[in-house]
Structure 1
Amino acid sequence: MSISTALSNALSGLGTTSRAAQIVSSNLANAATDGYGVRRLSTSAATLGGQGAGVRINGVDRLVDPLLIGARRGADASLGQGTTQADFARRIETAIGTPDDPASLTAHINAFEASLVTAANRPESQTRLTAVFDAATRLAGKLNTLSETVQAARMEADQGIARDVDFLNSSLAQIHMLNTQIHKAQGASGNQAALYDQQQALIDGISPLIPVRELRDATGRVSLYSADGMALLDDRPAVFGFDPATVMAPDLTQANTGLSGLRLNDHPVVLDGAFPALQGGRLAAQFALRDDLAITAQARLDAVARDLTTRLDDPALDLTLTPGDPGLFTDAGNLAIPANELGLAGRLRINARVDPGQGGALWRLRDGLGATVEGPPGQAGLLNGTLEALRAVIPTQSGGFSTAGRNLETLATDLLSMAGQARQSAEVDESFAASQHSRLRSAELATGVDTDHEMQELLRIEQAYAANARLVQTVEDMLDQLMRI
């Protein structure tokens, strides 16, 4: 081996170890960076004229486990779906309230019944009649509030869909732009690795919304597909469309074109039915919340409101009422009818005839809502009849409840029980998704930057650098000796 060859080998070694040290420092600096792929310098022996010519840098490898990342992204989507549905279920159960909660629906029913008992004992008492009116008003207000809670959840889901659609469009456009940069950066391995990191972070941001499958071609460009095969990014990024609602009401649905559906490249995306698209992530879960779960919750509340009004609209209960007149609880002042049940819980109002604030009189709670003059102050027949009507066991007619007979309190208890069952089921799904996500996330982090290993690698690089530097020094000493001959 000639002296010049030895010097060339040593210099290539110095250059390689310097580059390796740079990569190790980058790994250590990004030890806590999400989406960062560990870099490793790829080298091979260089030859010239059949003889060794030092070391050649082939490139920088980015070490990731695509199968593990894909599984973790699937868990991201499952967790996004599970959390969305569990949060809604918890919200509804909490809003209804448990019987020991003085603000619960059951507590308001019990308070209304207790006020009727007290008033029937002293029907001449203005104070006790006021208590009946106040309890009835609070009961109607509780159902109004529950309905508002459901519609607020639907509105928030609709707004969440709009935000997610904007995020999807922006992220897909950025990933497509990075594809172009990756193609242009071929051969500059370090630059490509950084671009891959950026792409992975963007795809990770999409995965909680939609389960995605990633395919990367030989040029490094990535294509994205949903789990059911819809192209999200191929030659160009897909464009999602959605029109957020400005208001929300129980009668607004996709079916009556009151609410927007999802579009992909101007084509409708079917998110329900036998073969729903884009399932498994937060985006589909928010549609399910807005168009299914919340509608079911509203229907159950409306069934309770209908049961309440039906009990007190009975003509045999208050003989002062004429056909078509509403009882104590009204549909925004009108008689509640089954054909207009949708949204009844939100429109429930106390009959103006007993409301002093609307020109009514409290004594009509005792003498009859249709009475024109005050009767004997000691009669308690209507008050007792109202209490008996609330406690009567009658079949439930709607809301997905069985047709078994119930009194009003039992119906409210069943409503809470169904909400609790929905919450428990949703939390089981959420807990499983969270456990799976945590396990896969931990496994993915274990494949990331190992600082102990990097420090050991740095020591090895330091030793190799010192050895190559020593060889350069030796060659220099040899040349000095030759120059002195």
Structure 2
Amino acid sequence: MSLASAITTAQTIFSNTGKQTAIVSQNIANVGSADYSRRLAMMGVDNDGQPYLKVQRAQNDALFKQTVASISDDAGQSRLLFGLQQIQSAFGGADYPTSPSTYMTAFRSSLQTFAASPSSITIARSAVADARDVANALNSASTVVDQVKATTDKEIGEQVVQLNEYLSAFEKVNYTVIGMLANGKDASDALDKRDSLLKSIAGIVGISTTMRQSMDTVIYTSDGSVLFETSARKVELVGKDGSSSPPFHVEIDNEELKPGTGGNTTAQGTLAALFQLRDDIAPMMQNQLDEIARGLIVSFRETDQTIPEENREPGVPGLFIDSSSTDMPTAGTISTGLAGRIKINAAVDDNPMLLRDGGFNNTSTSTNYTYNRDSVAAYTGRLDGLIEQMGTPQAFDATADIGGTATVMGYASNSIGWIEQLRKAATSADETKGAMVAQMQQTLSNETGVSLDEELSLMLDLEQSYKASAKLLTTVDEMLKSLLDMVR
């Protein structure tokens, strides 16, 4: 080897070692970054026999696609569970201590106590207070359900805006990747950014991707709609009446996004879960609450005691009333919003003995709705009848999803069972999907992420390479000095 070639070799080693060191330093600086793929310095020899260094980005397309899919599943499941927990909070959380069912049990117990001491005004007032708790529980639960629907409406709008922003950013970075690779430049940073955006998009809507020869990426939704192809497709809110406010559904490339179904939801991404909450679970819970309220009004109705018994039905509201109507609700049919309007008849505040005697609907000229017509202090007929009515099956609207016939007490209990079954299924599925996404992210990180131990080991190797190059230059320097000394 000539001295000139030795110097050239040393310079090349210095140059390549410097580039490798920069790459290793960059890797070390990004240890723990979920959106960074390890850079690899690949050495090669060109057609002229000259060594060169090429930066290669670690990647595993199959693992990445599985990770993206698991992110969608987990995001949808987590958002559904959060919504179910919000609804559960309307009933006091675990064990449902403030549910209508719990308060109805306490109220029935108060009625039984009152029936045992029908002349006690104190016990009568206690029973009235328990009845008010039942109505308040229904009002509160209805309010929370309305809040869940309002929250999801707002969040759907925010998610659509966010998704469009992600797609716009993806379009720009996708062009950057294509351009840099076409010009032989290192596109690693742009590819990291593109993968990060894909993960963010997957958190909102389920996606699948296809890679073209130029590294151009096409994105489809899990339903098959085109989300991105060369340019971003428009994601828009479409109102029920054709307007965009309030939002009724989301369209992607003119295809409606479908909501998820079930406690172990089919929703991929938060949008589908939000629609499941807003358009399925919350309305169904509201229907059940409305039916409980209607069942209470029916159970505590009054009938005209002066006419033949076969002509007395359907009667008129007694203890429980609809604050916006004096009529009995339609039998076996959901009265929309009734749970938010139900209250106890104000007349019972002044005269709690109306609960024992009846007469909420008496007028100044008529006492037709009095059951205790002889004003007997020990009268229990009306109280016994009310207790019996709470345990008597009646017709409920089957579209509320918990049966068509039940006692009002049983129906309220079934409603709690319905939401609890959904919540338990969602909790179990959330744990499974959360574990899956964590495992997939860890596996992907093991394949494409940075290992500090490996990078530090490589840094030591590069240090040895640098020392060897320095030694070579030192040797050449000494040889040149010896040669010059000989010439002198």
C-alpha change, 1:299 and 1:315, in structure 2 (3 Å) is same
1:342 aligns with 2:339: no
Whether 1:56 aligns to 2:46 is no
Q: How does 1:28-427 map to 2 (within 5 A)?
A: 28-46=28-46, 48=48, 52-53=49-50, 55-57=51-53, 59-96=54-91, 102-186=97-181, 187=183, 189-190=185-186, 192-242=187-237, 259-265=247-253, 267-271=254-258, 279-313=267-301, 315=303, 325-334=316-325, 335-338=328-331, 339=333, 341-356=335-350, 361-365=351-355, 366-372=357-363, 376=375, 378=377, 379-398=379-398, 399-404=400-405, 406-427=406-427
CA deviation after TM superposition for structure 1 residue 432, in Å: 2.1
Distance 1:64 1:280, change over 3 A: same
Aligned residue type for 1:287: F
Pairwise CA distance, 1:140? 1.0
Partner of 2:456: 455
Deviation at 1:253? 10
The Cα of 1:94 is off from its aligned counterpart by: 4.9
Deviation at 1:259, TM superposition (A): 4.2
Equivalent-residue separation in structure 1 for 2:92 and 2:412 (angstroms): 10
What SS does the aligned partner of 2:232 have?
Answer: coil
Cα deviation, 1:47-88, whole Å, max 9, x if unaligned, reads: 64xxx44x212x211102121111011111111121222233
Compared CA separation, residues 347 and 13, structure 1 to 2 (3 A): same
SS of aligned partner of 1:261: strand
Which letter does structure 1 place at the counterpart of 2:425? S
**CA distance, structure 2, for counterparts of residue 232 and residue 76 of structure 1:** 17
Q: Distance in 2 between matches of 1:390 and 1:253?
A: 42
Aligned twin of 2:20: 20
Task: Tell me, yes or no, if the aligned pair for 2:140 and 2:340 is still in contact at 8 Å.
Answer: yes
Normalised by the size of structure 1, how large is the TM-score?
A: 0.85
C-alpha deviation, 1:323, in angstroms: 6.9
For residue 481 of structure 2, give the secondary structure of its aligned residue in structure 1: helix
Distance 1:481 1:347 in 2: 105
SS at match of 1:41: strand
Q: Measured at CA, do residues 462 and 43 of structure 1 come closer, stay the same or move farther in structure 2, by a change above 3 Å?
A: same
**How far apart are the structure 2 equivalents of 1:254 and 1:289?**
22
| 1:384-405 Cα distance to aligned partner (Å, 9 max, x none) | 322221122445443223345x
- Judge which range, 109-118 or 87-96, deviates more: 87-96
1:421 maps to amino acid:
Q
Partner secondary structure for residue 426 of structure 1 = helix
- One-letter amino acid of the counterpart of residue 165, structure 2: S
Q: Secondary structure at the match of 1:208?
A: helix
Query: When the two structures are superposed, what TM-score results if normalisation uses the length of structure 2?
Result: 0.85
3-state SS of the aligned residue for 2:41? Answer: strand
In the alignment, what sits opposite 1:248?
none
Letter of the structure 2 residue corresponding to residue 269 of structure 1 = E
Corresponding residue of 2:468? 467
Q: Is contact 1:120-1:380 (8 Å) kept?
A: yes
Q: CA 1:100–1:156 in 2, change beyond 3 Å: closer, same or farther? A: closer
Name the residue aligned to 2:484.
483
Is the 8 Å Cα contact of residues 318 and 369 (structure 1) preserved in structure 2? Answer: no
Q: Structure 1 residue 100: deviation in Å?
A: 6.6
* 2-structure distance, mates of 1:308, 1:162: 38
| More deviation, 287-296/368-377 | 368-377
Distance 1:253 1:392, change over 3 A: farther
Contact conserved, 1:45 with 1:56, CA < 8 A, in 2? Answer: yes
Asked if the contact 2:259–2:274 (Cα under 8 Å) also holds between the matched residues in 1, the reply is no
Give distance in 2, aligned partners of 1:440 and 1:99.
32
**Aligned residue number for residue 370 of structure 2:** none
CA distance in 2, matches of 1:393, 1:317: 23
Please tell me whether the aligned partners of residues 162 and 243 of structure 1 are also in contact (alpha carbons under 8 angstroms). Answer: no
Amino acid at match of 2:277: L
Mapped partners of 2:57, 2:285: distance in 1: 49
Query: Which ranges in structure 1 are unaligned for 5 or more consecutive residues?
Result: 245-251
SS in 1 for 2:36: coil
Between 1:199-208 and 1:324-333, the stretch displaced more is 324-333
Residue 19 of structure 1 deviates from its aligned partner by 0.4
Residue-by-residue CA offset, 1:108-159 (whole Å, 9 max, x unaligned) = 1122112223333444443333222221111011111122222221222222
Q: Structure 1 residues 369 and 442 mapped into 2: Cα distance closer, same or farther (>3 Å)? A: same
User: Could you say if the C-alpha distance between residues 414 and 85 of structure 1 is closer, same or farther in structure 2, counting changes exceeding 3 Å?
Assistant: same
**Amino acid across the alignment from 1:326:** P
Letter in 1 for 2:102: A
- Contact (CA 8 Å) 2:77, 2:267: kept in 1 or not? no
